[in-house]
Amino acid sequence: MSDNPDLRICPNCGQENSLYTLRCIRCGEEMEELFQLEGFDPSEQLSNDSPQEDQAPLSEVLASLDDSPLLAEPVENHVDENGGDHAGDDQSSVVEKELPDWLERVRQRAQEEEDASGELSKLGHTSKERRQVDEAFDDILRRIREQNEREKTRKPRTTEQGMVDEKGDPEWLRRIRELHPKNEEDPRETTLKGLPLEDDDAWTKEELQELLRREMGISEHADQAAEDEKFEEIETIDSAEPSIDLPFQENFHNIADDDQDEPQEEEPAEPEEEANAEEPESFPDNDPETENAIDEPEEPDGGLQDQEGAVEQPDEETAEEAESEITPPVDKVLPDLLLLRNQRERAQVLREVIAQEGQRTITLLHEPARQGKIGRFVLALMLILAVLGGILFGGEAGIANQPIPAPALAFEENLRSITSTHPVLLVLDYHAATRGDIEPLVQEILAILDSNRVTTRIVTANPENLWLGETPDEFIPGDMLGYLSAAVSSDPAWGQLPLAQGFSGDAKIYHEVDQAILISDSSEFVRAWLEQVSPWQSGIQTSVVTTSVSEPMLLPYFESGQLRGIIAGASQFRALGTTQQGSINQYAWQAGTLLMMIVLILGMIMKVDEDRQRRTEERSQ
């Protein structure tokens, strides 16, 4: 068993399970120890029985005891009524000589006392009869076990004075009513007989009396004081009953955390209570005379009247108590309804799920957009026209006169300073989608390096770069891990590292390199390089060719000196000191940028207009 009395531990896997589960929730093993007969220990039964005797029915065992030579009697003393089968009389004389004292005493006692084998063994001497006896006995045992099982499962309910009362009200409903007693200010309406008006399905005093009498088995007149006390208790509980509450109201639970928010929600229930308070009169069951006529025809009416009078006085006393218990705190809930924390959380989740029913909880991106598909088509046309206009009407000089940012100037300066003494490592890591932004720059850079007779070593770990632009000299397996492995590791004494065998050329890609140019469309790649590889190759100066999207995230690295320069996108082509256009018409680029600004401003204006219209509609409503 676990420390928590509500849980038990599976003997197979150690998982905690509820008391009433039949099988373990984790391993599915049957919880054999669950059902036990009081006083019946199956393990003892099994251990006591020898393997041979397991199958032997009781009658045979008893019969064999009779047949035992140790207990054998002389023929004249043990003539069985049914002419039972006793064998081995001849052996008795032989055995007698060898018997120890204690056995003699046992035999003597057996002679004096009645036959302890019982009627069953006497009756079932024949095999058929024995079989019938066995079956009957097994049947009895089975019924006993089933009854015990039923009682076991019902056991906690019995402590609550019955799961379902005579009227058919379930226990949970009774408990709900206890949590929501009637309001103080509600005037207590009384019936014609002077009894406080109760709910339509509440117990009447007469019914309670009858129930008590039946259960306690006491007479009408005797122990009346005790009944009155009990009746007061029941009355106290009964008077605290609220009106009929549906089980799915929010405050029917005993979850402590939620009840703090609940008090204001109880108020709408009050009118229901008042409304329901008028209904009980229509129910015939509330008529005590009818009830008594049905249930207790023999009961004299006088007794009821006496009890009614006796009840009225304690009723006043208990009414005060009931008023003080209108809102019983949660901790006064009967202790048998305990929730585990897990169950409490799941109940909370269920409540949230139910609360979200019918609500749109995800801000769907789509709305009944006025723009629709035509709006997107118009935008696309505008973009295409702007770009085309830039190309057609941009003039011969396709390079716009844009300011060159400092990182691009620094890149160009660094590039020009590279000498032919050491090779330059070019690391490719871009996609086909961004080649338009990167490849013109790469070609220009390679041209500059060629003109300075600088040896280049082009590597890539991105398979796409095998067929984009420049063909790399080496493919590095493992992407960033491969670069890191090449930067960190040195040749071990026992030979080569496994990855070195995968290189077609020299595995030491950083050998004699003092400049590395990262050509990547991802700021994440450059950051990973600077954070992982650069610390282990601190002699290598790094510069970057990237897209304009990634440039802002790399500027801090340039400011801190980790990058020698950044050139981003075709818009900074002019930084390389060339007058050629490249593959991008920069007037078209400018037109597109201008259009983007216009669209952004348009979005703001549309939002302002929408808000104004909504306010106008609200005012008109």
Partner 1 sequence: MPPISLTDLIAAAIVGLAIVIMAIVWLSSRKPPVEPYEPIEAYSSIEALMHRSSEEGKALLLSLGEGLSGQQSAMGDSVSLAIEQIVLSRSVSNDQPTQSFSGDGALACISQLVVHGAYQNAMATELFRSDHSLMGGVGAFAWMSVIMPELARSENGGLILAGTMRPEHVLIADLAERLELPIIAATGSLTAQAAFFASGTPVTLGEEYYLPSIGKAGQMTYQRSAKTLNWLRIILALALISAVILKLTGVLP
Partner 2 sequence: MKQRTPVIIAAVSGVLLLVAFFFQPFTSPYLGLVLNWAIILASVAFLVAIASLVVTHIRFIINGRKGFLFSLVFILAFVLTVVFGLYLGIDDQQYLEAIHTVLVPIQSALMGLIALVLMSAAVKLFRTRGWSILTVSFGGSALVFLFLNLGFLRLDFSEGLNDVIAMVQRLPVIGARGLLIGAGLGALLMALRVLFGQEAHNE
Residues forming contacts to partner 2 in the complex (CB under 8 A) are: 363, 365, 367, 369, 371, 375-376, 379-380, 383, 400-403, 405, 431-436, 464, 466-468, 471, 477-478, 481-482, 484-485, 488-493, 497-499, 527, 552-553, 555-556, 559, 571, 590, 592-597, 599-604, 606-607, 610-611
Tokens for 455? 């040896």
Q: Which residues pair with 546 in a beta bridge?
A: 568
**Residues 423, 456: contact at Cβ < 8 Å?**
yes
Task: Answer yes or no whether residue 550 interacts with partner 1 by CB under 8 A.
Answer: yes
Tokens for 532? 């992982």
What is the C-alpha separation between 546 and 519, in angstroms, rounded?
6
Task: Answer yes or no whether residue 493 interacts with partner 1 by CB under 8 A.
Answer: no
Tokens for 255? 């979850």
- Considering only residues 522, 541, 542, 543, which one is a binding residue for partner 1 as defined by CB under 8 A? 522
Residue type, 257: D
Q: Which CB atom, from 309 or from 535, has the smaller least distance to partner 1? A: 535
Task: Answer yes or no whether residue 349 interacts with partner 1 by CB under 8 A.
Answer: yes
Q: Which runs of consecutive H residues, i.e. helices, occur in 113-189?
A: 118-123, 127-158, 171-179
Q: Is the dihedral of CA 55, 60, 61, 62 positive or negative?
A: positive
67: helix, coil or strand? helix
What residue 65 binds from partner 1, partner 2, none (CB within 5 to 8 A, per partner kind)? Answer: none
Q: Which CB atom, from 398 or from 472, has the smaller least distance to partner 1? A: 472
CB of 376 to partner 1, least distance (A): 9
- Considering only residues 231, 411, 525, 573, which one is a binding residue for partner 1 as defined by CB under 8 A? 525
395: helix, coil or strand? coil
Please choose, from the candidates 335, 321, 334, the residue with its C-alpha nearest in 3D space to the C-alpha of residue 238.
321
Q: Which residues pair with 519 in a beta bridge?
A: 428, 545
CB of 607 to partner 2, least distance (A): 4
CB of 121 to partner 1, least distance (A): 49
What residue 73 binds from partner 2, partner 1, none (CB within 5 to 8 A, per partner kind)? Answer: none
Q: Which stretch binds partner 1 (CB under 8 A): 101-109, 146-154, 313-321, 521-529?
A: 521-529
What is the C-alpha separation between 92 and 102, in angstroms, rounded?
16
- What's the number of CA atoms in the CB half-sphere (13 Å) around residue 612? 6
- Residue 216 dihedral angles phi and psi, to the nearest 5°: -80, -20
What residue 499 binds from partner 1, partner 2, none (CB within 5 to 8 A, per partner kind)? Answer: partner 2
**Ranges within 5-64 binding partner 1 (CB under 8 A):** 25-26, 28
**Residues 436, 583: contact at Cβ < 8 Å?**
yes
Q: Which CB atom, from 260 or from 579, has the smaller least distance to partner 2? A: 579
Task: Answer yes or no whether residue 532 interacts with partner 1 by CB under 8 A.
Answer: yes
CB of 560 to partner 1, least distance (A): 10
Task: Answer yes or no whether residue 463 interacts with partner 1 by CB under 8 A.
Answer: yes
**Ranges within 387-446 binding partner 1 (CB under 8 A):** 429, 431-433
E-assigned strands of 466-608? Answer: 474-475, 515-520, 541-546, 566-568
What is the C-alpha separation between 207 and 304, in angstroms, rounded?
10
Q: Could you list the residues that contact partner 1 (CB under 8 A)?
A: 25-26, 28, 345, 349, 352-353, 356-357, 361-366, 429, 431-433, 462-464, 478-482, 484, 520, 522-525, 528, 532, 535-536, 538, 549-550, 553
